[in-house]
Structure 1
Amino acid sequence: MLNRRSLLLAGLGALAARVAAAREAAPALMLAEVYRPGMSLADYWVSEKFDGVRGYWDGQQLWTRGGEPVVAPAWFIAPLPKQPLDGELWAGRGQFAHAVSTVRSQTPSDTAWHGMRFMVFDLPAQGGDFTARLAVLRKLLPITDAPWVVPVPQERATTHAELQALLAKTVKMGGEGLMLHRGGSLYRAERNSDLLKVKPHDDAEARVVGHMPGKGRHSGRLGALLVETPEGRRFKLGSGLTDAERENPPAVGSWVTYRYNGTNPGGLPRFARFMRVRSDLPS
């Protein structure tokens, strides 16, 4: 029992060390909160939310949100300016898996990368508020010789009804949702309401910290994932998993995305269900 407990504690210690190392390596990016009906739309810009891999160009190297270097072909990054860019490495609507596999590959495939675009939505090192940064971005991009580097189209948000109509239209065309960016906001490397995501459902990421054994029909395989949010809240995630995922579950230490319907008074997600593994985030 003692040896087993020691191994468990050692495993948790190693996981905590990996988490700390990943946090140190990750670029300092602005992260979004969730839009709720009733929030003021005054001074917000709206754009499509692209379902790809967050990409940060520091002027010399591409990085993922988790701090992993992106090995892109030389032709893809050669035209990029020396100025830092924040955006999404995107393969098109409904092509998230292609985007992830392309970005994570350590041997870049020209064929795969020709299907990628760098959708740039901000200039982290540029002074001024977002509206001012957007004006600079529109002068910087597009680049004639690099059509794969795209400034994200932005328009002024108006009313909640028009926002919902745009959301419905975007989702119908295969899009994931919308983003709202407050015009008067500085670039702050934290999660805040200056940046909001608008989706037809709530979703978030959590790290897998354990595997719960199944019962009944799932006896002998995974029953639920024990996951932990970035805020340190733990809960079981059992709904939404396929039989194949129960047979070969996401590894402890990996990140997953889950959907949910609001939170309970304690802050835990209600009706949480598994969506997919976030292999673009470090384990």
Structure 2
Amino acid sequence: MLNRRSLLLATLGLALVQPALARNAAPSLMLADVYRPGMSLADYWVSEKYDGVRGYWDGKQLWTRGGEPVAAPAWFIASLPKQPLDGELWAGRGRFSHAVSTARSQTPNDVAWREMRFMVFDMPAQPGDFTARLAALRKLLPITDAPWVVLVPQERATTHAELQALLDKTVKMGGEGLMLHRGSSLYRGERNNDLLKVKPYDDAEARVVGHMTGKGRNSHRLGALVVETPEGKRFKLGSGLTDAERENPPAIGAWVTYRFNGTNASGLPRFARFMRVREDAPHS
């Protein structure tokens, strides 16, 4: 039975929109935990961690991790399959800003998109474990008409020493780190240790909940961000900010990435340093 508001909207000829069908509902993606030395590497595949914008192809439309539609040029997606694909919209090592600005622009820039790649690492709707899904991906990719859609190279992980050597080599070449994907894992839209990130430092995301005015040379601009972790812990994040970021700080509600060196007894990060605004993270 229609309520009073629904009747009014119907009378005015306005469409009724159900919240559950909102277009910006974030896709349910598999998220990575953090690898620690000593964890078993049995049954894991290893690949490079590409520093770009998480891209989810649902068979018709590209989406960010946060549920925002990606306005890619028609030629970029024309040859993509009808099966869902999970990957990273990537512009190359050290070009995170280009990837973000290109993927988030609602007016696609052909020149900018020509420098983009869709680095595909999984097929969320494909039956079977990751090793089986990888075999299916290797049959699907590459696509002759879309060389910018790239299958992420995967190799078997072995010992921690060899993993560390591969990490060092990747970082020296400008890479961000590595990813470990358990071969026997089913695709689950949650954070778990079936998927692990391997980096030379710890990093995490937090939401900006406040701005603190600085002192001295920063007395008339941002001194530190007040951020809140997904677990509800709050702390100040002042190190790592550029002068430009202090003049024009990340907005309240924005998600930022920070790096740190372990945690203290209360669970707060030690030596936290701002890295950047995480444009493709979910927003509240």
> How many angstroms apart in 2 are the aligned matches of 1:87 and 1:160?
26
Q: State the match for 1:178 in structure 2.
A: 178
Query: Residue 96 of structure 1 aligns to which amino acid in structure 2?
Result: F
- The answer to whether structure 1 residue 62 and structure 2 residue 62 are counterparts is yes
Does the residue aligned with 2:108 lie in a helix, a strand or coil?
Answer: coil
> How many angstroms apart in 2 are the aligned matches of 1:94 and 1:32?
21
> How many angstroms apart in 2 are the aligned matches of 1:215 and 1:149?
49
- The answer to whether structure 1 residue 92 and structure 2 residue 67 are counterparts is no
Q: CA RMSD, aligned part only?
A: 1.7
> How many angstroms apart in 1 are the aligned matches of 2:258 and 2:22?
21
Q: State the match for 1:270 in structure 2.
A: 270
Query: Residue 250 of structure 1 aligns to which amino acid in structure 2?
Result: P
Provide structure 2 residue ranges, at least 5 long, that are not aligned to the other structure.
1-20
Query: Residue 157 of structure 2 aligns to which amino acid in structure 1?
Result: A
Residue pair 1:205, 1:229 contacting (<8 A) in 2 also: yes
Query: Residue 151 of structure 1 aligns to which amino acid in structure 2?
Result: L
Q: Deviations over 1:92-140 (max 9, x none)?
A: 1111000001001111011111100000000001111100111111111
- The answer to whether structure 1 residue 140 and structure 2 residue 101 are counterparts is no
Residue pair 1:90, 1:96 contacting (<8 A) in 2 also: yes
User: Runs of 4 or more off by more than 6 Å in structure 1?
Assistant: 21-24
Identity fraction in percent: 86
Residue pair 1:261, 1:271 contacting (<8 A) in 2 also: yes
> How many angstroms apart in 2 are the aligned matches of 1:23 and 1:52?
22
> How many angstroms apart in 2 are the aligned matches of 1:248 and 1:110?
29
* Deviation (angstroms), 1:280: 2.7
1:218–1:96 distance in 2 versus 1, CA, 3 Å: same
1:95-244 to structure 2, matched below 5 A, reads 95-244=95-244
> How many angstroms apart in 1 are the aligned matches of 2:133 and 2:194?
14
Does the residue aligned with 2:54 lie in a helix, a strand or coil?
Answer: strand
Which sits farther off after the overlay, 231-240 or 26-35?
A: 231-240
1:269–1:24 distance in 2 versus 1, CA, 3 Å: farther
Residue pair 1:214, 1:220 contacting (<8 A) in 2 also: yes
Does the residue aligned with 2:206 lie in a helix, a strand or coil?
Answer: strand
| Equivalences, count | 264
Residue pair 1:22, 1:66 contacting (<8 A) in 2 also: no
1:23–1:201 distance in 2 versus 1, CA, 3 Å: farther
* Deviation (angstroms), 1:23: 12
Q: State the match for 1:281 in structure 2.
A: 281
Q: Deviations over 1:39-78 (max 9, x none)?
A: 0000000000000000000000000000000000011001
Does the residue aligned with 1:25 lie in a helix, a strand or coil?
Answer: coil
Residue pair 2:89, 2:99 contacting (<8 A) in 1 also: yes
Q: State the match for 2:12 in structure 1.
A: none
Does the residue aligned with 2:92 lie in a helix, a strand or coil?
Answer: coil
Does the residue aligned with 1:279 lie in a helix, a strand or coil?
Answer: coil
1:240-251 to structure 2, matched below 5 A, reads 240-251=240-251
> How many angstroms apart in 2 are the aligned matches of 1:118 and 1:23?
22
Q: State the match for 1:259 in structure 2.
A: 259
1:252–1:23 distance in 2 versus 1, CA, 3 Å: farther
* Deviation (angstroms), 1:221: 1.4
> How many angstroms apart in 2 are the aligned matches of 1:282 and 1:189?
14
- The answer to whether structure 1 residue 25 and structure 2 residue 39 are counterparts is no
* Deviation (angstroms), 1:222: 1.0
Residue pair 1:22, 1:67 contacting (<8 A) in 2 also: no
Residue pair 1:26, 1:66 contacting (<8 A) in 2 also: yes
Q: Deviations over 1:259-279 (max 9, x none)?
A: 000112222111101011112
Residue pair 2:26, 2:67 contacting (<8 A) in 1 also: yes
Q: Deviations over 1:236-279 (max 9, x none)?
A: 10111112211211111111110000112222111101011112
Which sits farther off after the overlay, 242-251 or 69-78?
A: 242-251
- Please identify which structure carries the higher helix content: 1
Query: Residue 200 of structure 1 aligns to which amino acid in structure 2?
Result: P
Which entry has the higher C-alpha Rg, 1 or 2? 2
* Deviation (angstroms), 1:204: 1.0
